[in-house]
Amino acid sequence: MSSAGDIIYKAFMPTLKMVLCILLGFAATKKGWLTAPGAKGLGAIVVQITLPALLFSSMVTAFTPDNIKAFGPLVIVAVMYQMLGLIFAWIIRELFYVPIDFRWGILVSGLTSNWGNLPTAIVQTMAKESPFNPAVDVDLGVAYIAIFIFIMNTTFWGLGVHKMCAWDFQDDRRRPDQPPLKERWSSQLESTKGKISKWTGLKHRHSRSNIDMESQTIPGMEMMGNVEDKAEQDENFARNNIEPYIPPTNGAGTPSQEIVPLDRVPTNNEAELLRRSSRKTADTQAPPDPVPSIHESDNVVLVQPLWRRILQTVYDWPNVTKAIIISVPIATIQPLKALFAETEGWSGTRMPYGPDGNPPLHFVIEFSSFLGAVAVPGALLLLGASFARLKVPKNWKDLPLSAIIALTCSKMILVPIFGIFVIQAFRDHTSLFPREDKIRTFISILLSGTPSQVIQLVVTQTYNPDGTAETLSSFLLLQYALMFILSTALAGIALYIVER
C-alpha cells in the first residue's frame, strides 16, 4: 500500500503544469499582451479548431472493442454526477444571490466538470505503480476518461448546453433581479392557493344541480321588466293610439321569430331603396385581386427535400459535435481504426503499413494531436487572463460570496461524497465495477470532484459582447484554488478504497 507522502506527491505534481499555465495567462494580461479582444479570438480558435482536433485524436486512439464494455457503467456514473451537480446549482440559484449575467451560467457550471487534463495527468502518473498494472491500466485509464469526456462534450455541445451561456446576455432570456427568498416563495404559495381555490370553486359550481329560482335570472327575462314597467308601457301605447306588437307563437306559447322593435321594421319602399343602394355600392367597389396560383407566382417557396434538410442540420452542428460523431465509429470499427492507428489483428497483416512504417492515415492522428495540444494550455491561459481582469470590489460583500462558496462545496465536497459511497455500493453489490478492474473504480471516484469545465470560460467570452467573463471567473477562482488540496485528498481516498 502506498504511503501518504507518495499519494500526495503523485496527485499534486500533475496539477503543477496547470498552475504554471494559469500564472502565465495572468502575467500576460497584466503586461498587456493578452487583451480582451485577443482573448475572445483565442477562445474562438480553441473552440472551433484545437478542441475538435484534440477530441478526434484522443478518442480514436483510446476506444477499443475490449474496453467498450465499460461504456455503460461509466455513462451511468457520469450522468449521475451531471444531474446531481445541476440540481445543486439550481438550489443555489434559488437560495442565494447570483449576478444577472450568471443566472443561466451557474446551471452550466453545475452540470459540467473538467474531466480532461487534470484526471488524465493524475491517472498517467498513478497508474504506473502498484496497485495498478502499468502494462494495461495506463492506456485503459485514459480510455475510461475518454468516455467521461465523450459524455461531457456530448452534453455540452451535442445537446446544446453551451447555448445557455449566451442566454445571460440576451434581453429576451435574461432573468431579472429576484425578490428575497421569503417573498418569492410566499408569492408562489399565494398563487398556488388562488389556483386551488379557483379550481375547487369551479368544481363546486359544476356540482350544483338545484337552481334557486328566486336568485337566478332566466336569459331574456331582464328584457321583460317588472309589472310596474309593463303597466306604464301599456298606458303610453294607449295615449298615442299605438297597438303593442305581439309576435305570433308556434303553439307552445313561445315566439316563432325574433322580436323586432316597431320603429326598426322597414316598409316595402324602404327595403327596395336599401337593396338598390347596396347594389350600386357593390358595383363601384374595385374587385378583389385574384389569388395567384402556383404556376402564376414567381416567388413560390418550395419545401426542401428531407436529405437536404438533414445535411443542413449536420452542417450547422458545432465542430466539436462533428468531431465526436466522426471519431466514435472510427474507433470502434476495426477496419476503419486500422487506417488511422495501430489495431491488433489488422495493422501489418490485413491492413498494410505505409512507407514510414505507420498505418496509411496515421498522419491525420499526428496532425490532430499536434493541433489539439494547444487546446488545454490555451484554455488555461484564458483562465489566468480572466483572473487578471477580474475586478475585485473594495467591499467583499459586493461579491456573491454565498453562491461562490456553495457552488464550490457542492462540486468539490458534496458530489465526491456521493460518488465515494455509490461507487463502493456498485462494486460490492453489482457487477458494474468488478474488483479486479481497479482502475475503473479509481477513475469513477476521482472524477466526482473536479472543478467546473474551463471551456465554459471560453464560450462565455465568445458569447459576451464585451469579450469578458468576470462573474464566471470569480466562481472558478475558488474552485481551482482549492483544487490542489481537495483533488489530492480525493485521489488518496480513491487509492485507499481500491487497495482494500
pLDDT for the residue 221? 43
User: Considering the chain, what percentage of its residues have pLDDT values greater than 90?
Assistant: 21
Give how far Cα 437 sits from Cα of 18, 121, 440, Å. 29, 20, 6
pLDDT for the residue 298? 47
List, in sequence order, every beta strand (DSSP E) within 276-346. none
pLDDT score of 19 more than 60: yes
As a whole number of Å, the end-to-end CA separation of the chain is: 9
Nearest Cα residue to 332 out of 341, 134, 120, 368: 341
DSSP string, 39-67: HHHHHHHIIIIIHHHHHHHHHHHH--TTT
For 175, residues 6+ apart whose C-beta sits below 8 A from its C-beta are 100, 103, 104
Integer Rg of the chain from CA: 37
- Backbone phi, psi, residue 300, to 5°: -80, 125
What is the C-alpha to C-alpha distance for residues 150 and 183, in angstroms, rounded to an integer?
42
Query: Which one of 167-176, 273-282, 377-386, 445-454 scores highest in mean pLDDT?
Result: 445-454
Residue ranges and CATH numbers for the domains of the chain are 4-174+312-499 (1.20.1530.20)
DSSP string, 369-417: HHHHTTHHHHHHHHHHHHHHH----SSGGGS-HHHHHHHHHIIIIIHHH
**H helix runs in 208-302, sequence order:** 227-239, 268-284
Model confidence at 276, pLDDT cuts 50, 70, 90, reads low
Average pLDDT, the chain: 77
Q: Which residue has the cell 478492474?
A: 437
10 Å CB burial of residue 359 (0-12, 13-18, 19+) is buried
What mean pLDDT comes out for the span 313-338? 83
pLDDT score of 177 more than 70: no
- Backbone phi, psi, residue 261, to 5°: -60, 150
